[in-house]
Amino acid sequence: MKTMKSLPLVSLFLFFAEACLVPGAVTTNGTNTPSATPATLVTPMTLAPLRATNVPASLVATNAGATNTPNTNSPATSPSLIAHDLREIHGSISLPKEWTLLPGQLLEGDVLLATKEKISGENDPYTTGLSMTLDRNGAKDSNQKPTEYAMSLAREAHDKAGDEASPLRESQNGPFHEIRFDFPVAGDLPLQITEVLRANQKTGTLAVILWQSPKEKAVALQGLREAILASLTLDPEK
């Protein structure tokens, strides 16, 4: 299974035992990617954002022409974020202007990639950014409630991530139950990974998101990470 790209390869998600790897990502024992089964999202609904903490308010811009007054508590280098529609899934994500977004065809089993580096395809290497896949049938096929299914995958991923992984953390935002943890990945360029499992308790859909950045820059990029994760919205009815 694939995770976010870097110079080595990192497993995107520990979930389905190296199945559906994110192309070009750094390989590790840390994460799994749930299998994504083709499905169709239809009627656009009110979007529920990921809950995040300590997100600099100045990071988000509503459109490409918008700018914000920098928050004095934010790093001076923190960029404004530009909103991008994810039409296929009736969602959206906000990213720094210079970042690359490859939305893929999530309902066909593809992976969404958003990276600081300029990439043109899944096999291009990158060090900073996130990936996301959708699993629409895993909970139903395993006869589990969405939160139980997400927790079983999170525990498996957490065990494989090793002793340096942070404890699992849970939060609730509307119908979405989120589980997340962090872990390092050794290599020529050590990475810090944040794995997020976001289960829709109404529909059973599970979004698996992997953020990665160079370990030495993880603290400096924490505000940007949380702002991007908070901006990532999904349809609560699908």
Residue 152 has φ and ψ, to the nearest 5°, of -65, -40
Other CB atoms within 10 A of residue 65 CB: 7
pLDDT at residue 79, as a whole number: 61
* Positions in the chain short of pLDDT 70: 1-79
Q: Which fold has domain 48-234?
A: Protein Transport Mog1p; Chain A (3.40.1000)
Token duo for residue 29: 């024992």
Q: Each residue of 119-170: pLDDT tens digit?
A: 998 889 999 999 999 999 999 999 999 999 999 999 999 999 999 999 999 9
Give the residue extent of every domain in the chain: 48-234
Which residue type does 164 have?
E
